[in-house]
Chains A and B, each alone.
Chain A
Amino acid sequence: MNPTENKTSCDRELNDSLRVPLLALFGGAAVWLVVGLVLGLIAGIKFHAPEFLGGCPLMTYGRVAPAANDALLYGFCIPAALGVMLWIFARLSRNPLALPLVPVVAANLWHLGVFIGTVGILLGASTGHTWLEYPRAAAVILFAAFMLITVSAAATFGWRNEKSLYPSHWFLFAALLWFPWIYSTANLLLNSNQAPRGLVQPIIGWWFANNLVFVWLALAGVGIAFYFLPKITGRALASSGYALFGFLTLIFFGTWCGIPSGAPVPAWLPALSSVAAALTLVPLLAILIVTAKTVCGARVSCMGGSFCYIKFGMMSFIVSGILYVSAACPQYSRILDFTWFGAAQTQLQLLGFAAMIFFGAIYNILPQVMGRPLPLPKFAKAHFWLAIVGVLLFVVPLVIAGVVQGEKLADPSIAFADANSAALKFLRISTTGQLLVLLGAILFAANIFIMTIQWKLGIAKTVIAYLKSPLETASASASASLRRDQGEVES
């Protein structure tokens, strides 16, 4: 994108402004990632042993499963994406983050909101709408926190030194506009005392879920990938014409997907949605072309680094998109609806696409922003292998389970229990995959937390050194900044 971005004193200023906001966003995100995956594992185990934690009303499948999904999406994906976005906005603007205190407050508010929401679901205060389960109190906090981040991002962009606009900007801008709009619409309509009656509720719910899980994650993930891929390969993003075409078709077609073709709603809604889903293949193809052209032939050793993560994430994006589109085709949806196929697509979107891109970006950003290398680089590599093997083991059996289950459900001569148990066999493998993904997430969290602790110890040492020998402060701070510079050169 801008490979010749010169390392000036501006860089240090930029990193200093981003350090605390990013640690606040990423640290909480790492916690929610682990929490979400643990809850997901509990939900998965319940299919093998229905009575597992059965005596505890807090831990019924219907509470744990949405709490797990929401913790992954709201707890991990969104704050991680926002952190990376702030970084990209500051870098592309070539000026420090504007109002750096605002995102710190926002990050803490956001994690508080996710905490209230998760506890709310487990206590039975879920709203009952998919992806919108968080009770009203949590929703208000999340909305406020997101707006604060948007303010800081917009201010950073508004006061920029570098005037040109990059493809990443389009995607990330749209993402910043998307979330407040869809989240407020869905909550004001569904989560209020005057909710519309009847089937309008699930229609709005589907619109919201599609715009959040498919469109928003696509905007954030692809926007971030389009920043880091050129950065890492050291060359410009291939054909920004295709990128623009992909962006526009994604936002114009992708937004109309999401209404299941067999839904008991007026027929024009699912019909329109199916057509839009077919057209969504266009942006998928455009984004695939841009990515492939940028990545292919790049002389970058991958070996479990950021580049690997982002490449795998983009592959997952295409596959997950194709699964999504195919499930919207009326012929297939008759078989695939109401099966594990939908869950498989969602998990691929969350863990295979979005999370992988964010991991890659965070592993790239953290050493720069903290001015020191990752404390446990081996963990980062191990995390990569655990994550891809885990995601594949998690998702592929679920896809097969969905197809098998769907075909058996479509044949009324096969008993329901048989269709169900045919799917359960594949769920056993799937749970193993979940476990691997969780192990990887723990390694990720370890890196972030050790880094945070090292940084805090560093501050404490500086302070103590300052207090003990006031005369040597000048040299101490000079050596501290020297260390930071070295860290940056290495990364």
Chain B
Amino acid sequence: MKTGISVFLAAFVALGASWCGFVLAPMLQLGGAKQTVVLQSTDNWPLQRTGDATLGLQIYRAYGCAACHTEQVRQTGAAFEITLNSLGVQKPADFIEFTKSLFVLPELAAYTNAIATGLNDWNGGLPKTLLTSTDKDIVTEMADRLKAVGVKSETRIVATGADIARGWGSRQSVAADYLYDQPVQLGGLRAGPDLANIGVRAPDANWQLAHLYAPKSVTPASTMPSFKFLFEVRPVGATPSPDALNLPKEFAAAAGYEVIPKPEAKQLAAYLLSLKANVPLYEAPFTPVMPPNK
């Protein structure tokens, strides 16, 4: 490094290489991404947002909601899960006896404990998850044996991981989910819960608005500040407004007043309701509890 030129060249090559790797290559690989198709369906994914929800994304950006909320669900893997739907003519006690007869099978040896403890305090309620395993053969074998004795069961693919267990989603987020976000706001801190599926978890618009107006009115442990400035508190007119929020008593406006969401609040709520990555995709398969095209 005796001359300025050599320093310049080294720096140029170093930064240029990473530019090719992390700017150019992703543009080539993902830049032309198009809608994809939902697994075992002809539906397209993702869907364009409604006008209000598209405006709501800008409200989300402007208030910096992504500073505290992520929009990405992570999973550690996937597993197969057998759920009992009906015992047919068998009684629960008979069924437990039957499962014990299976425990001698060498391929089930690793799972006998899990199945036995799962059935220990079972009172016969259905549906009941019998076995969760990443090994497809075991689960298929088990399902065949259940079928042979007239027990109805269902085998599902489920995603695993802490985010999934918290109910934040039924699968991990994938690149396709963000196709129509402008800008994409993945977020980097979970000072509040993940929102990738808030539209599935809380599909009620009044809940969303009440949560924005007074977060503690719907989630008492919330540390989110209220966004009261997105609402207008005004005297009830001749007839109460159909938009007025339905709030618990201690958060409601004074008697004779009602809380009306401003357009911004409605748009933000529409955006939040549009956040639902709940369909199986090729790169993130799972078996939906309710098939989406039903």
Chain A positions within 8 Å of B, measured between CB atoms, are 46-47, 50-51, 54-57, 60-63, 65-66, 121, 124-130, 157, 165, 169-170, 173-174, 177-178, 181-182, 185, 189-190, 195-204, 206-207, 211, 244, 247-248, 251-252, 255-256, 258-260, 262-266, 269, 272, 334, 337-340, 342-343, 405, 409-412, 415-417, 420-421, 424
Bound complex: CA A130 to CA B184 (Å): 11
Most buried by B among A174, A252, A338: A338
> Do A177 and B191 touch across chains, with their CB atoms under 8 A apart?
no
Asked if residues B62 and A125 are in contact (CB atoms below 8 Å), the reply is yes
Not counting A181-B15, A244-B1, a sample of 14 additional A-B residue pairs whose C-beta atoms are within 8 angstroms of each other reads A46-B225, A51-B225, A54-B228, A128-B183, A185-B19, A197-B180, A255-B14, A256-B18, A264-B186, A265-B26, A334-B76, A342-B189, A410-B162, A424-B223
Interchain Cβ contacts under 8 Å between A and B, 24 examples = A50-B223, A50-B225, A51-B225, A55-B229, A62-B63, A63-B62, A66-B64, A127-B61, A177-B12, A195-B183, A198-B30, A198-B175, A198-B179, A199-B178, A199-B184, A204-B26, A264-B172, A264-B175, A265-B30, A269-B22, A338-B187, A411-B162, A412-B162, A417-B219
* CB-defined contacts of A416 to chain B, threshold 8 Å: 166, 193
Chain B window 126-151, contacts with chain A (Cβ cutoff 8 Å), 1 for yes, 0 for no: 00000000000000000000000000
**Interface SS majority for chain A:** helix
Residue of A nearest to B33 (CB): A198
Given the complex, which residues of B lie within 8 Å of A207, measured CB to CB? 18-19, 22-23
Segment 1-45 of B: residues with Cβ below 8 Å from A? 1-4, 7-8, 10-12, 14-15, 17-19, 21-23, 26-27, 29-31, 33
Going nearest first, the 10 A-B pairs with the smallest beta carbon separation are A62-B64, A124-B62, A412-B165, A255-B18, A417-B221, A251-B14, A128-B61, A207-B22, A50-B225, A128-B183
A63 to B65, CA, bound (A): 9
Given A50-B223, A177-B15, do A200 and B68 touch, yes or no (CB 8 Å)? no
Query: A165–B2 contact, CB under 8 A?
Result: yes
A196 touches B178 (CB 8 A): no
Mask: chain B, 178-221; 1 = CB below 8 Å from A; 0 = not: 11111111111111110000000000000000000000000101
From the candidates B2, B11, B64, B181, name the one contacting A65 in the complex (CB within 8 A). B64
* Cα distance, A178 to B178, chains bound together (Å): 30
User: Cβ of B252: which chain A residues have Cβ within 8 Å of it?
Assistant: none
Given contacts A265-B26, A266-B29, whether A128 and B225 have CB atoms under 8 Å apart is no
CB < 8 Å neighbour of A174 from B11, B174, B222: B11
- Of A54, A201, A269, the contact of B183 (CB 8 Å cutoff): A201
B153 at the interface (CB under 8 A from A): no
Contacts of A262 in B (CB 8 A): 74
B19 near A248: Cβ-Cβ < 8 Å: no
Are A65 and B67 in contact (CB-based, < 8 A)?
A: yes
Interface pair A342/B226, CB less than 8 Å apart: no
Residues of A within 8 A of B8 (CB): 173, 177
In Å, the complex CA distance between A127 and B65 comes to 13
Q: How many A-B residue pairs have CB under 8 A?
A: 206
Q: Which residues of B contact A54 (CB under 8 A)?
A: 225-226, 228
| B70 close to A (CB within 8 Å) | yes
Q: Does B72 count as interface, using CB distance less than 8 angstroms?
A: yes
Q: Are B1 and A165 in contact (CB under 8 A)?
A: yes
Is B191 a contact partner of A47 (Cβ separation < 8 A)? yes
Cβ contact within 8 Å between A343 and B189:
yes
Residues of chain B within 8 A (CB-CB) of A178 are 11, 15
| Complex: A386 Cα to B8 Cα, angstroms | 39
- Asked if B22 and A62 sit within 8 Å, CB to CB, the answer is no
Residues of B contacting A198 in the complex (Cβ-Cβ under 8 angstroms): 30, 33, 175-176, 178-179, 181, 184
Cβ–Cβ contact B63 & A57, under 8 A: yes
- Bound Cα distance from A269 to B183, whole angstroms: 20
Given the known inter-chain contacts A173-B7, A199-B175, please indicate yes or no for A126 contacting B189, CB distance below 8 A. Answer: no
Whether, in the assembled complex, B173 has its beta carbon less than 8 Å from a beta carbon of chain A, the answer is yes
Are A338 and B70 in contact (CB-based, < 8 A)? yes
Q: Establish whether residues B175 and A60, one from each chain, have CB atoms under 8 Å apart when the complex forms.
A: no
Known: A124-B63, A126-B61. A181 touches B19 (CB 8 A): yes
In the bound assembly, the distance between CA atoms of A343 and B2 in angstroms comes to 39
